[in-house]
Structure 1
Amino acid sequence: MTGTAAPPGARIDAPLLRIAFILVLGTFMATVDATIVSVGIDTLADDFGASLTEIQWVSTAYLLAVVAAVPASGWLADRYGGRRTWLAAVGVFLLGSVLCALAWSAASLIAFRVLQGLGGGLLPATGQALLARVAGKERTGRVISVVAVVPLLSPVLGPLAGGSLLGVAPWPWLFLVNLPIGLAAILLARRHVPEVPPSPRRAPFDLRGAALLSPGLAVLVFGLTEVSHGRALPAALGITAGLAMLAAFTAHGLRTRGTPLIDPRLFARPPFGAAALALLVLGASVFGTMFLLPLYFQTGRGLSAWEAGLLLAPQGLGAAAGSVLVNRAIDKAVPRTLVVTGIALILAGTVPFTQLGHEPPGAVIATALAVRGVGMAMVGAPVMNIVYSRIEPAQLPRAAGALNMLNTVGGSVGTAALAVVLQQRLEARGPDVSGAFGDTFWWVLGFCLFAAAGATRLPRTPRSPE
C-alpha cells in the first residue's frame, strides 16, 4: 500500500485520523521527553552523587542530539522510505529509554540520552512528512492542524508527568514510561500506516554537509548554553566554531553538484523563507517562555514543580481550543491572516508577563496563558500547511526536516538567550526576582514582533486548487 494524494475536496476520514494519531505518538514521546526529566534533575543529582552542573547535561545532551539528528531526517526518508525511517527512529528512541533507565552513573545516563535524542530528533519531521504525503495536498492543512497541537502541549505535560511519576515511583520510570507508548506506536504503524516508497533518485548521502551542519548546530547550541552558565571561554569557542561550520555548510550547499543535506536555496523560495523565519522566532518565543515561567513560579512564587505545571495548564487548553478553530478555518481563511492573528494573540498574552514585578493575580496569568495557547495553535499548523501544500511530494521529507530543524534551533537559541538576559537582570535587580523575570519577557515580546515581520511575507491568498 502506498500513499497517494487525495482528490480535491476529500474529507478527513477515519483511516487518516487513525494514521495521524499513530504518527503523533512518536512526536509526543520525543517532545515530552525533552521536558519530563527537568523536574527530576535534583533527584538524579542525589542518586548519582553528581553536581547540578554535571547532571544538567542529562537535559543538554538530549537537546544537542535532537538538533544534530533533525537535518538527516530528509535523506533517511528519501533513501529508506518514510514509514521504515519512522519505525527505526521509534526503535532507537525506545532502546535509548531502556538504557537510560538502567544507567549506573551520571556519565552513562548522559551517553544514553544522546542515543535517545538521536531517535527523538527524527520523529517529528519524519512523521509530519509521512502524514502530509499520505493525506495529499487537499487534506494536509486540516490534518496538520490536529497533530500540531502536540508539541504545544508537551512543555506543559512534561513537568506534570515527571512530577506525578516521581511522586509514586523511582526516577527510572521517567524513561520506562516511554515503552508502552512506543511499542503501541510500532504495532499500530505496522498495521495501519501505509508504506511510502523511497525516492527513485536515491541521492548519495551528503557526508561533507553532515560533517558541517549537524555538528555545527550542536556546537552553536552548546556555546549558547555555556553563555547562560557564565562560562566565557567555552561559550566563545562554541559560538565561533558553530557559526563557522554553518557558514561553511551554506557555501557547500550552494556549490555542490549533489543533493545537499538541507538545500540553502529552499530558504530563498517563497513562501518557504518567510515560513521558516516565522517558525524560527516562534520557537524561540514558545520554548523560551516555557523555560521562564516554571522557573518564575518556583523561584519567584515558591511553588512546587507540580503546582507550577498546573498553572501552565491553561496554555495547553488554549492550544487545544485553537487547534479546533484552525481545523475549521485553515482551508477557507487567508493563510497570512491566520498566522498574523495568532502572533497578535501571542503578543497580547505575553504583555501581562512583562509586569511580573507587580505580582499579577493568578486569574490574569491563567487568562494570558490561554490566549497565548490559542495564538500558538494559529501559527504552527498554518505555516506548515503553507509549505507542505505548495511543495512537490518528493521534496516533503527534506522540507519537513528543514522546518523542524529551524523550530528546534529557534527554541534552543531562544532559551539560551533568555537565560543570559535573565541572569543579567537578576544581578541588576538584586532581591526583586519577579521584576527580573518581567524585564526578560520584554525580550519575548521582541521575538514575537520579529516573527510578525516575517509573517507579513506569507501568501496573501489561499493556494489555488490544482
Structure 2
Amino acid sequence: MTSAPGGRTTETAPPPADRVDGQLLRIAFILVLGTFMATLDATIVSVGIDRLTEEFDASVADIQWVSTAYLLAVVAAVPASGWLADRFGGRRTWLAAVGVFLLGSVLCALAWSAASLIVFRVVQGLGGGLLPATGQALLARVAGRNRTGRVISVVAVVPLLSPVFGPLVGGAILSTASWPWLFLVNLPIGAVAAVLARRYVPAVPPAERRTAFDLRGAVLLSPGLAVLVYGLTEVAHGRDVPAALGVTAGLTMLAGFAVHGLRTRATPLVDPRLFARPPFGAAALALLVLGASVFGTTFLLPLYFQSGRGLSAWEAGLLLAPQGLGAAAGSVLVNRTIDKVAPRTLVVTGIALILAGTVPFTLLGHEPPDAVIIAALAVRGIGMAMIGAPVMNIVYSRIEPAHLPRAAGALNLLNTVGGSVGTAALAVVLENRLAARGPDVSAAFGDTFWWVLGFCLLAAAGATRLPRTRPGK
C-alpha cells in the first residue's frame, strides 16, 4: 500500500501473501469494530425494554418495535451492500455505513417518544446492515485467497459473541447510566473505527464493469423480507390478520424476486443462481440455520432465566457468557486448523457439538443444575465457531475477487434472515407450548428447544454436501 498526496491511501490493495502479518490483523481489527457495533446493537437494547416503557409511557408491544424496527432495517439494507461496494468501492461504502450508523445512534439517544425512537432505529439499522457484509468482502479482498481462512476465523467470532454479550453490556450500562447511553456507547467505537480505517485500510477500487442498480429486485427483495419478518412477528404476538397478510405478502414478493432474478439479463441484487452452485448452496443453508440457532437460543434463554428462574437481566446475561467464551475458544481452534482440515469435517463437527449442547435444554422441565447449563452453553459456543468461519472461507476462497461483495451480501443476508425468521418461529412455538403447559413454564421452554435441535439436523443435512477437500486443493 502506497500513500498519495495528503496522506490518503491509493486505490490499490496490498499484494496478498501466505502469512497473516500484523498489517492484515490490524485491518481485520478495524473492520471488525463495525461488525461489533452492528451486531451488539441488535441485542443490547433487549434488556432496556422495561426502562423504555417507563420512560415513554408506552406498552411493551409498542416498545418491542424498537428491536423489531432495527432488525427489519438490517434485513432491508443487506441486499444492497454488494451493489454499493461495486459502485463506490468497499472502503468508501464501509465508511459511509459507519457514518449512517453513528447518526442513527445520536438520533436514538435524542428521541423524545417511542415513535421517534422507532424511526431513528430504522436509520441506525440501515447503516448496521451494511457493515458486516462490506467489511467481510473488503477483508477477503485485501487478504487474498491464501490468507482468507485464517483471518476470517478470527473476525467471524464477533457475530457469535455480540448476541451473548449484548444483554450483559446493556445491563451494565443501565445499572450505572441513563437509557440514552445504550446508543451513545457506539460513538467512541465508531469514531475510532472510522479514523483508523481512513489511515490503514486500503481503498479497494469499485468494480470495473459498472452495473445498473436492480430497482425491481430491490422493490421485491428487501421489502419482501421485511414484510415476512413483520408477519412472523405478528404471529408471535397472536395478531392473526396482520400476521396472515404479512406472511402472504412477504412470500409473494420473494417468489416474484426469484422469478425476476432468474429471468433478468441484468445483474440482480442477489443472484438466485448462486444457491444452485456448489458449494454455495450448502454453505448458505448452514449459515441460515446457524443464524436461527444462535439468535433463537439468545432469545429463548434470557426469557427462561428471568421468567422460569426469576433471575435479573444481569444474572441472565452472566449465565449466557459461557457461550461467548466457548465461541472465543472455538475460534482459536479453527484458526489453527482451517487450512489443514476439510471444511466439511469442521462444519459437521461444529453442528454435532451444537446438537450435544442443545440436548440439556430440551430437559428444562426437569430443572437441570446451573453447572449443566453452563457446560452446555460452552459446548454450543465452540460448535458455533466451527461453522461460520469455515463456511465463509469456502465461499470467499473459491470465488473471483470481483464477485466478493455480492457473495458476502448474500451470505450475511441469509444469516440475518435465519436469525430473524428463526427467532420469530421459536416465539410462535413458545407461545403455543406455554398455552399447552399452563403453569409449567420450564417444560414449555424445553419443548421449544426440540425445534432448535431440528434446525441443527437440517443444517447437518446441508453440511454433508460441503467440499471434502481443503480450499485450494
Q: State whether TM-score is above 0.5.
A: yes
Task: Report the Cα offset of residue 227 of structure 1.
Answer: 0.4
Query: Is residue 433 of structure 2 the alignment partner of residue 411 of structure 1?
Result: no
Q: 2:146 aligns with which of 126, 130, 138?
A: 138
Q: Secondary structure at the match of 1:461?
A: coil
Alpha-carbon separation, structure 2, partners of 1:458 and 1:64 = 30
Counterpart of 1:426 in structure 2 is 434
Alpha-carbon separation, structure 1, partners of 2:229 and 2:19 = 42
Query: Is residue 13 of structure 2 the alignment partner of residue 3 of structure 1?
Result: yes
Is the 1:4–1:136 contact (alpha carbons within 8 Å) kept by the matching residues of 2? Answer: no
Alpha-carbon separation, structure 2, partners of 1:122 and 1:464 = 29
Unaligned runs of 5+ in 2: 1-9
Counterpart of 1:159 in structure 2 is 167
- Percent identical pairs in the alignment equals 84
Alpha-carbon separation, structure 2, partners of 1:75 and 1:250 = 18
Residue-by-residue CA offset, 1:399-446 (whole Å, 9 max, x unaligned): 000000000000001000000000101011011000000000000000
Counterpart of 1:114 in structure 2 is 122
Query: Is residue 254 of structure 2 the alignment partner of residue 279 of structure 1?
Result: no
Alpha-carbon separation, structure 2, partners of 1:156 and 1:223 = 26
Residue 108 of structure 1 aligns with an amino acid whose one-letter code is S
Alignment of 1:378-457 (within 5 A): 378-457=386-465
Counterpart of 1:263 in structure 2 is 271
Counterpart of 1:303 in structure 2 is 311
**Cα distance, 1:71–1:5 mapped onto 2, change above 3 Å:** farther
Alignment of 1:16-415 (within 5 A): 16-415=24-423
Query: Is residue 469 of structure 2 the alignment partner of residue 461 of structure 1?
Result: yes
Residue-by-residue CA offset, 1:269-294 (whole Å, 9 max, x unaligned): 01000000111111111110110001
Is the 1:86–1:122 contact (alpha carbons within 8 Å) kept by the matching residues of 2? Answer: yes
Residue 256 of structure 2 aligns with an amino acid whose one-letter code is A
Task: Report the Cα offset of residue 464 of structure 1.
Answer: 2.8
Is the 2:27–2:201 contact (alpha carbons within 8 Å) kept by the matching residues of 1? Answer: yes
Alpha-carbon separation, structure 2, partners of 1:19 and 1:211 = 34
Unaligned runs of 5+ in 1: none
Q: Secondary structure at the match of 2:183?
A: helix
Residue-by-residue CA offset, 1:208-227 (whole Å, 9 max, x unaligned): 10000000000000000000
Task: Report the Cα offset of residue 463 of structure 1.
Answer: 2.2
Residue 326 of structure 2 aligns with an amino acid whose one-letter code is G
Residue-by-residue CA offset, 1:79-113 (whole Å, 9 max, x unaligned): 00000000000000000000000001111000000
Task: Report the Cα offset of residue 4 of structure 1.
Answer: 4.9
Is the 1:285–1:448 contact (alpha carbons within 8 Å) kept by the matching residues of 2? Answer: yes
Alpha-carbon separation, structure 2, partners of 1:155 and 1:119 = 18
Q: Which runs of 4+ in 1 moved over 6 A?
A: none
Q: What is the TM-score of this pair, normalised by structure 2? A: 0.97
> RMSD between aligned alpha carbons?
0.7
Residue 463 of structure 2 aligns with an amino acid whose one-letter code is A
Residue 319 of structure 2 aligns with an amino acid whose one-letter code is L
Task: Report the Cα offset of residue 6 of structure 1.
Answer: 1.7
Alpha-carbon separation, structure 1, partners of 2:472 and 2:400 = 15
Residue-by-residue CA offset, 1:307-334 (whole Å, 9 max, x unaligned): 0000011101100000000000000001
Residue-by-residue CA offset, 1:312-366 (whole Å, 9 max, x unaligned): 1110110000000000000000110000000000000000000000000000000
Q: Secondary structure at the match of 2:278?
A: coil
Alpha-carbon separation, structure 1, partners of 2:63 and 2:354 = 33
Task: Report the Cα offset of residue 156 of structure 1.
Answer: 1.4
Residue 44 of structure 2 aligns with an amino acid whose one-letter code is I
Alpha-carbon separation, structure 2, partners of 1:337 and 1:129 = 25
Is the 2:220–2:256 contact (alpha carbons within 8 Å) kept by the matching residues of 1? Answer: yes
Is the 1:281–1:450 contact (alpha carbons within 8 Å) kept by the matching residues of 2? Answer: yes
Q: What is the TM-score of this pair, normalised by structure 1? A: 0.99
